Amino acid sequence: MRESQAIERLRRIATAPGALGLADDAALLDGLVLTHDTIAEGVHFLSTDPAASVGWKLVAVNLSDIAAKGARPAAALLSLTLSDDELWDMSFLDGIEAACESYGLALLGGDTIALPAGAPRVFGLTAIGRAGERTPLRSGARQGDSLWVVGTLGDAAAGLAQLQSDPASTGQLVEVYQRPVPQLAAGAALAPHATAMMDVSDGLLLDASRIAQASGCGLEIDLGSLPLSASFVRERGDGADARLFAATGGDDYALLFTLPAALDPLSLSLPRRTTISRIGRVDAQGKRLSLVSNGKAVPLPERLGHEHRGNSTSPMADRI
């Protein structure tokens, strides 16, 4: 079963208003934003990744969903699986603690189980945030809006590729892959103005298609406008193939959002040194998702991003 099929089936169960029809990354309940993410060895992290970075990543990816709703971190529940490697488990908890302290996230409890020897590690976290004055959803994009990204694209996927080639790799790209940073302050500043917003976790093109579907509109993305870091360009280049790699790699935890065309986000109180880029527009009359480069149409790649599949036998290969 594909992820999209599972979600479609679950919609028959998740009928409460706060579930938002399972059309978003978070749920809303009495002024709270709730989200849950799971990370699995071989799918979201490598067995050779430092345990502390895995703990950090579990917290950060959940807080990225909180950021996309403009909410403030409040509390979390941890689903902890213990292995037969006590040192690894303790280091993992060190990473959880460091992330919770960094972002003011109170750990309230959760559940703990032990894994059979040799079983892949799987961890889950439920993050709870306090909603701000307005909570942008995926479904608010409108004709004429401009499409923006906060953050850079492709770094994490490039870092993962480096590690798969050489597990001893280090550097900026590896750091971005192992220790993502949720855009909480930027999300809070943008939320009162964004017509739609979500984080980029499964790949820019796939996540953009989700905004388009939820909003009932088309999105046109300019490949030449995608924000690439200097480290990414040194590693992968700046050509069309590199840009498509960045647009489909995932694990970016950037913010993807739409704004009324007349609103300049630079007029907002964004954090210093925020990387913000206009990458396209909402075109209600066009295709659900389209790409252009230098004013010319670019065919969509067969793979828009990462979607979980129940029959996948090589998860990390599918991840990139």
Q: Give the whole-angstrom CA distance, residue 255 versus residue 183.
A: 7
What length is written for the chain? 320
CATH H-level, domain 138-319: superfamily: PurM-like C-terminal domain (3.90.650.10)
Per-residue pLDDT in tens (0 to 9) along the chain, 320 residues: 887 788 889 889 988 999 998 889 999 999 999 999 999 999 899 999 999 999 999 999 999 999 999 999 999 999 999 999 999 999 999 999 999 999 999 999 999 999 888 899 999 999 999 999 999 999 999 999 999 999 999 999 999 999 999 999 999 999 999 999 999 999 999 999 999 999 999 999 999 999 999 999 999 999 999 999 999 999 999 999 999 999 999 999 999 999 999 999 989 989 999 999 999 999 877 679 999 998 899 999 989 987 655 544 333 333 32
pLDDT tens-place string over residues 210-264: 999 999 999 999 999 999 999 999 999 999 999 999 999 999 999 999 999 999 9
- In a 13 Å sphere around the CA of 16, the CA atoms on its Cβ side amount to 6
- How far apart are alpha carbons 85 and 65 in whole angstroms? 31
Question: How big is the chain by its Cα radius of gyration, in Å?
Answer: 19
- Strands 106-114, 27-29: pairing is unpaired
pLDDT for res 314? 37
The predicted pLDDT at position 114 comes to 94
- Dist CA 211 CA 292 (whole Å): 18
> Which CATH number is correct for 3-130, 1.25.40.420, 3.40.710.10, 3.30.1330.10, 3.40.50.300?
3.30.1330.10
Question: What does the pLDDT read at residue 22?
Answer: 86
Domain ranges for the chain, please list them.
3-130, 138-319
Q: What pLDDT score does 312 carry?
A: 45
pLDDT tens-digit series, residues 112-150:
999 888 899 999 999 999 999 999 999 999 999 999 999
Task: Give the three-state DSSP class for 176.
Answer: helix
The answer to whether the 3-130 and 138-319 domains have the same CATH topology is no
What's the confidence (pLDDT) of residue 60? 98
**Would you call 266 helix, strand, or coil by DSSP?**
helix
- The span from the CA of 190 to the CA of 307, in Å, is 27
Placement of tokens 């820019």 in the chain: 204
pLDDT computed for residue 309 by the predictor: 59
Dihedrals φ, ψ of 164, to 5°?
Answer: -70, -30
pTM: 0.91
Backbone angles phi, psi at 99, to 5 degrees: -70, -40
Count CA within 13 A, CB hemisphere, residue 173.
Answer: 25
The edge-to-edge listing of strands for the beta sheet with 254-259 is 196-200, 254-259, 146-150, 276-282, 219-222, 289-293, 296-298
